Structure 1
Amino acid sequence: MPDLKRCISVVVLTYNRKTEVCHTLRRMLALPQAVDIIVVDNASTDGTRDLISSEFPQVRFVCLPRNVGAAARNVGVQMANTPYIAFCDDDSWWAAGSLERAVHILDAHPRVAALCARILLGPQETEDPVCQVLANSPLPSAGLPGRALLGFIACATVVRRAAYLQAGGYEQRFFVGGEEELLSIDLVSNGWSVVYAPELTIHHHPSPQRDNPGRQKIVLRNTLWVSWLRLPFASALRQTWATCRSARDIRTLAAALLEALRELPWVWRERRVISHQVHQMYRVLRD
């Protein structure tokens, strides 16, 4: 059995959910093998810092000066001293045995950058419908420990630290909402694989503290950005049209388009068109 302290760290992202994050930490600290836990707080104002400092002194804690969304995970990865990082949010936690299995898989498959786990939702422990989508991925998967992916669920993924840092981690402009797509495309473009590993399990009890209208705008905006940051011109046009058609509300779409256009100079500076091989993977999934 691997010494988890030397192999894997857990990075927990939180923002103004002190009750939920404490529940998650109790679950993680109750695992059979101890791991290094790093909590990255996105500038919470609800007393999260004081509560964690007093109740969980064994946990490494950093409070950022402002909320940077998903990019706060980058800070946790940089703080870690292990080759592998398991992510969870303040409303999700890893099942016993999953981190050990993740270490075994990544040790045995040195070109795999990320493993996406099976997600069980809420007290009923029902499987998240997205798991079936991941399990049915049509991408070529020969030689991999599971189905190949071109995406993952941020709060249910174990990554290889070196691959994550090479890809640059999460883009701060994306905040939270579909932020995984750009990172997963960049990982695969760098020659790594992303894999669905249903033998890993994470429990997710979604917090009621969610801004659903705001999140939809961010998801639309980020999808538009990914199209123009990485896709060939014709494909980016097609995906832009598809994204606009998928919008549920014209006002949300208008706000997303406006935000996307404001950062157009940045998009053109950072535009790196993916290879034909990765583009084919993208097209297979979109089709």
Structure 2
Amino acid sequence: MPRTTVVIATRNRVDRLRRTLTHLSPMRVPVIVVDNASTDATADRVRSEFPQVKVLESPVNLGAAGRNLGVRAARTPFVAFADDDSWWAPGAFERAERVFDDHPDLAVIAARTLVGPEERPDPITPLLRDSPLGEGVAGPAVLGFLACSAIVRRQAFEEVGGFSPVLFFRGEETLLSWDLAAAGWALCYVDDVVAHHHPAPERSPDGEIVERRNAVLTSWMRRPVGRALADSLRDPVAFRAALPRLRQALRQRCELPEHLEAQIRRVSGPPRRGA
């Protein structure tokens, strides 16, 4: 029986999604697509062309939190996330399952991500591989990952509530990583678990500011008040963008333990303006 389910959240990118599903089909694992209120007939086309794929339709765009619906619907102990422009290399799940079995306290495997037809390493790869946190239970210990190339233990993911709807999308992995670590779970980079990412050449023009906004919101949700205030003052543009969501973020504020805050400072390095 399959032990890993692939969960994909998507919106209005059915042609890219079809390519991803074509790559995943030979792997013979359950696939759940969460359609975030698409208007391009995504759900109908997937059901017609890929009848083995389970489609969940959200009446509203939930952003990254749409993945939570897919995880709840999964019946396997592990869940591999993919975007509608990413897929997993052959053998990735079998390797990841062995690692999870050997390390019952491991919540997340951050995979090696190869980008585009040239299969160049994603810029995050050396940051994960050379993590200043040193060796963890199954590889370099990390406090972050790319959602399009991560495999999670479903029990741990559900225990901490999954992806936060406060952040919606972009940089949502950081808060989840911190919450898992605070709950006592381990996160590691595993080099021989591989995912492929073929991002679209066109990028959202507001993507950078949204990511910076979410960094400020995440800081207010989990870090000491002084650090959150410093992050806001250092990037006033991001703070202004965060203001409409700040009250909701503060309602979910829960400061991290001191040892984890120390690890975050070690990973982050010296602060940079606008970063």
Report the TM-score when normalising by structure 2: 0.94
Partner of residue 213, structure 2: 221
Segment of structure 1 superposing worse, 180-189 or 40-49: 40-49
Matched, 1:104 2:86: no
| CA contact 1:77–1:161 (8 Å) conserved in 2 | yes
Q: Alpha-carbon deviation of 1:186?
A: 0.3
Q: Alpha-carbon deviation of 1:82?
A: 0.8
Aligned CA distance change for structure 1 residues 277 and 129 (closer, same or farther; 3 Å):
same
Whole-angstrom CA distance in 2 between matches of 1:141 and 1:239:
29
Matched, 1:79 2:61: no
Partner of residue 120, structure 2: 126
Partner of residue 53, structure 1: 47
Whole-angstrom CA distance in 2 between matches of 1:109 and 1:116:
14
Partner of residue 156, structure 1: 149
Q: Deviations over 1:147-191 (max 9, x none)?
A: 001111011000000110111111112111111111100000000
Segment of structure 1 superposing worse, 174-183 or 71-80: 174-183
Q: Deviations over 1:122-142 (max 9, x none)?
A: 111111121011101010425
Whole-angstrom CA distance in 1 between matches of 2:90 and 2:263:
33
Structure 1, unaligned runs of 5 or more: 245-252
| CA contact 2:166–2:249 (8 Å) conserved in 1 | no
SS of equivalent residue, structure 1 residue 174? coil
Partner of residue 272, structure 2: none
Partner of residue 88, structure 2: 94
User: How many residue pairs are counted as aligned between the two chains?
Assistant: 269
Instruction: Tell me how large the CA RMSD over aligned residues is.
Output: 1.3
| CA contact 2:232–2:239 (8 Å) conserved in 1 | no
Whole-angstrom CA distance in 2 between matches of 1:73 and 1:187:
16
Structure 2, unaligned runs of 5 or more: 270-275
SS of equivalent residue, structure 1 residue 10? strand
Aligned CA distance change for structure 1 residues 114 and 179 (closer, same or farther; 3 Å):
same
Partner of residue 248, structure 1: none
Matched, 1:62 2:56: yes
Q: Deviations over 1:19-47 (max 9, x none)?
A: 1111111110122xx11110111111112
Letter of the 1:184 partner, please give it: S
| CA contact 1:11–1:77 (8 Å) conserved in 2 | yes
SS of equivalent residue, structure 1 residue 93? strand
Of 150, 160, 163, which residue of structure 2 is paired with 1:170?
A: 163
| CA contact 2:128–2:189 (8 Å) conserved in 1 | yes
| CA contact 1:176–1:215 (8 Å) conserved in 2 | no
| CA contact 2:113–2:196 (8 Å) conserved in 1 | yes
Whole-angstrom CA distance in 2 between matches of 1:258 and 1:150:
26
Q: Alpha-carbon deviation of 1:234?
A: 2.1
SS of equivalent residue, structure 1 residue 62? strand
